Amino acid sequence: MSQSPPTVGLVIVSHSSDVARGTAEMARQMVGDEVTIVHCGGDPDGGLGTDVSKIVEAIDQAWSEAGVAILVDLGGAETNSEMAVEMQPAERQDRIRILNAPVVEGAVMAAAEAAGGSPLSAVQATAEELMGQP
Amino acid sequence: MANEQLSALIDATNTAVQEAKDDLTKLDQAIGDGDHGLNMARGFAAIEQDRDKILAKPLGPALQAAGMTLVMKVGGASGPLYGSLLMAMGKAAPEGEPDRASLADMLGAGVEAVKKRGKSDRGAKTMLDVLIPVQEALADGADIAKIRQVADDAAEATIPMVATKGRASYLGERSAGHLDPGAASSRLLLQTVCDVIEG
């Protein structure tokens, strides 16, 4: 039985767990099970915010040898995601990127790119192209 | 820094942050997302809960542990920012009692960590606009009264600034005229440290 090469995993981080879940759902509709998409949102008490330990867990769940792309919504989601990346083992850190792209559109584009077996750099470029549009 | 002083600092900062929770939230509702008071209150309550674990360590590792608690428990950007501040200060802490020069070095290391974490610097209407001048005053040999004054003036000086970092930057020019919540919480924490040192 031949194994297909690993695809880039996605982590969706939003201040709202509803937004994170909905975004993951939209991206999954594009790509089915070809890409591992993990979402997390909400602060440690369940209010609006983000939680470093949840993000660390999500990265673990989404981990693939091809790497992990993280989509974030606002300020603290990015800062907390950076913190979570720094807590990963050193050999993983080079293969994790926080994408500079809008969370919903970026997740859909990244998922579509990842599903085709593209490397992390291509997944990042495709999602980030959205920011370059006039 | 004696262990008793660290213990007093944990209590005093937690009390101060809990009391200021609503004020910080109001400031943050004006130009941010309104969670700063709640997030800081949750973070400092978590440090209070971890106090025995923190106080069992020497100063450097104790500050690093307190910083890690903020990172894990706060839920907003202030967690990694204040957490990085404390963690870097802890890493820069001397083995024994810190003197003024080592305190200034510790705060200097903390400020650098906040700059890096927030990708920011002076003048962006953030906590750095309080931390940087206070660190400079400390390094210049200012006494406690002077440090209090510098912290107060620096926080007030964020009012006319236009934010270029954080959530307030989405408001652009409309962020002017409001005290920055991060500058307010930094002033509060620094004033509380001064209270504890004065005893």
CATH assignment at residue A50: 3.40.50.510
**Residue A17 touches chain B, beta carbons under 8 Å:** no
Q: Which residues of A touch B78 (CB under 8 A)?
A: 76
- Long-range CB contacts (within 8 A, 24+) of A118-121: A118/A8, A119/A8, A119/A66, A119/A67, A120/A8, A120/A66, A120/A67, A120/A68, A120/A69, A120/A95
Q: Does residue A15 carry a catalytic annotation?
A: yes
* A24: its two tokens: 């993951």
Cα dihedral A83→B17→B93→A44 (10° resolution): -30
Structural domain includes residue A3: no
**Residue A46 touches chain B, beta carbons under 8 Å:** no
Nearest residue, CB atoms, A51 vs list B75, B81, B118: B75
* pLDDT tens, residue order, chain A (134 aa): 456 789 999 999 999 999 999 999 999 988 988 999 999 999 888 888 999 999 999 999 999 999 999 999 988 899 999 999 999 999 999 999 999 999 999 999 999 999 999 999 999 999 999 877 65
Its domain, for residue A111, covers 9-127
Tell which phi-psi region holds residue B123, choosing left (phi > 0), alpha (psi between -120 and 50) or beta.
Answer: left
What's the domain count of chain A? Answer: 1
ipTM over 0.90: no
Query: pLDDT of B37-94, one tens digit each?
Result: 999 999 999 999 999 999 999 999 999 999 999 999 998 889 999 999 999 999 999 9
Nearest residue, CB atoms, A79 vs list B35, B42, B117: B117
Structural domain includes residue A39: yes
Structural domain includes residue A4: no
Name the B residues in 98-137 with CB < 8 Å from any A CB: 117-118
- The domain ranges of chain B are 3-198
Residue A69 sits at the vertex; the CA angle it makes with A105 and B121, to the nearest 5 degrees, is: 90
Of B28-32, B125-129, B155-159, B191-195, the range with the lowest mean pLDDT is B28-32
Please report, as a single letter, which amino acid is at residue B148: R
A126 neighbors A107 (Cβ within 8 angstroms): no
What's domain B3-198's superfamily in CATH?
Answer: DhaL domain (1.25.40.340)
